[in-house]
Amino acid sequence: MNKKYVVSLLLSCILVSLAFSAEKKPLDRNFEISKNLDIYNSVLKELNIYYVDTIQPEVLVKESIDKMLESLDPYTTFIPEEDTKDLKFMTTGEYGGIGSIISQNKNNQIIISEPYEGMPAEKAGLKAGDILLEVDGINLKGKNVSDVSELLKGQAGTSVKITLQHFADKKTTTKTITREKILINPVSYFGVLSDSIGYILLSQFTDKAADEVKTAFLDLKNNHHIKALILDLRNNPGGLINQAVKITNLFIPKDIEVVSTKGKMKQFDDSYKSDEEPLDLQIPLIVLVNSNTASASEIVSGALQDLDRAVIVGTRTFGKGLVQATRETSYKGHLKVTTAKYYIPSGRCIQAIDYAHRNEDGSIKRIPDSLTHEFKTKGGRIVRDGGGISPDIEVKNEQKLNISYYLYSKNMIFDFATQYVAKNKKIASPEEFELTEEDYTAFKKYLQNENFTYTLKTADYLKKLQEIADYEGYADIAKEEFKALENKLASNIDRDLDLFKKDITNLLNAEIIKRYYYQKGEIRYQLKNDPELKKAIELFSNKASYFDILSLKK
């Protein structure tokens, strides 16, 4: 409580005067900022001298800065010097290390979660499920994932000594692994689907995204002679705006405005146009999106929609129409600050949340559809602002939160897959592999041996409702109704394992396939039963419907 109070006091010193000076003239505002900073410094000095316990100034200042920025929007953040490596990784997808995802198991041990194909960890024989015990002689007991990640990272060409316990034989071994430059390809997968349809999965917009999409497309076009293309931007959080422009440019004429930005300061007003000759203006194009498609992904999907160049399939996108710039601060820190809003070719901004106008309790909400405005695409189709990109064809996600979520979050899926791999040296291809009935029965038995239990979220809320009813004196009146609901909402593992067998099996298949065929294999499996993908292929099979959506002649 003391720490929270101190941080709150420091934060108040920063914000109170700024709030009163919001409408003042520039000179008045500059005076208020200087005055407020003096107050802040004064309070921090007094706390350092007189507070009953020893304070950590660097911690208090960092937390007060974070709290201040939190009141603006979630994208304006302070990055201290020690975290600038993460900033580089976000923009380049590159770091020095062993090339593996690590996580924490149920015993709080650090384990290999996924070694990247062809990277040092995989080449050294590290497998998913292996337990890391030491890194360069440092015992990892009590260390978290972030701590261990920092120990594993380092300059490419340097070595790191890792002591680990293999899951398969429980033997402890020490390996010296040479770090490499790990470059995460933003194109996670590309290939050819049925009927000569190309598919490209773009997972992020790093500084090489456009080049990788271009390479993938030219390979599909020249070597596989595709007749249509699906660009998958689902779950893509975005990244660099110039990469979004370059990717859009691959499919639209030169000298077309893709996106413009407008900020408080003129230096952040800009117009981004396609400045190169396109690769293909004619190939039918579908873009897959969902609620996690954000930022630069929305620029690409929104611009292609506004220019009537692609049909958008999926669910409404996230709605991030804000642009950030990185400013260097003193002592080699960085401030990632929202500087502008972006506008796609129709003139609309798709920002879904107005952070400047919050509710009385400080909470935020999406802009309701009733307050959005109509805009028109190049061909005259109606589109709207203020709530992300609405797809031309909506494919609703029918998957519900069920027992499979709890199995996944409690590592039951991961651990069973690890055991399965230890007993099976090889499996069928990702397109053909399926767990057998015998395998699923073994999974049920595994859960029994692990004493797996779970509580439904609904049951948790019911318990809280009962507590409120008891506080207000209504518990006895609704006693029978509460009891009936409690019985209906009680988790029944045997029932749910049968009821949601399909969802559970899909998760198990994907996790097992990833152990043999890595990330690309997992993607190939998931594409088999992908409803959005099926809808896109179905649309391509009816070219008249495709062109009709775009209001174009065949």
The distance from CA 513 to its chain's CA centroid, rounded to whole angstroms, is: 22
Beta strands 311-314; 285-289: pairing state: parallel
Angle, nearest 10°, between helix axes 2-20 and 57-70?
50
Phi, psi at residue 113, to the nearest 5°? -95, -40
The residues facing 337 across adjacent strands are: 325
The residues facing 132 across adjacent strands are: 110, 164
Question: Which pair of structure tokens corresponds to residue 234?
Answer: 């689902």
Question: Which pair of structure tokens corresponds to residue 84?
Answer: 């600038």
Number of residues that make up the chain: 554
Q: What number of CA atoms fall less than 13 Å from residue 483's CA on the CB side? A: 6
**Of 298, 288, 317, the residue nearest 241 (C-alpha):** 298
CA distance 415 to 111: 11
What residue ranges in 373-428 does DSSP mark as E strands?
Answer: 374-376, 382-384, 393-394
Residues 306, 385, 392, 415: which is the catalytic one? 306
**Of 326, 390, 377, the residue nearest 552 (C-alpha):** 377
CA distance 442 to 420: 10
Question: Which pair of structure tokens corresponds to residue 14?
Answer: 């920063």
Q: Are 103 and 145 in contact (CB under 8 A)?
A: yes
Give the position of tokens 């590159």: 94
Phi, psi at residue 314, to the nearest 5°? 140, -135
Q: Are 463 and 490 in contact (CB under 8 A)?
A: no
Question: Which pair of structure tokens corresponds to residue 514?
Answer: 């990833």
DSSP 366: B
Amino acid at the residue 103: S
Report DSSP letters for 343-393, one per residue: E-TTS-----B-TTS--TTS---BPPGGG--EEE-TTS-EEE-SS-PPPSE
Q: Which residues are CB-contacts of 209 (< 8 A; sequence separation ≥ 6)? A: 186, 187, 202, 239, 240, 243, 246, 247
Residues 127, 320, 514, 535: which is the catalytic one? 320
The residues facing 324 across adjacent strands are: 338
Residues 203, 260, 274, 295: which is the catalytic one? 295
* CA-based torsion, 176, 182, 187, 190: positive or negative: negative
The residues facing 180 across adjacent strands are: 97
Q: Is 320 a catalytic residue?
A: yes
Catalytic residue positions, numbered:
295, 306, 320
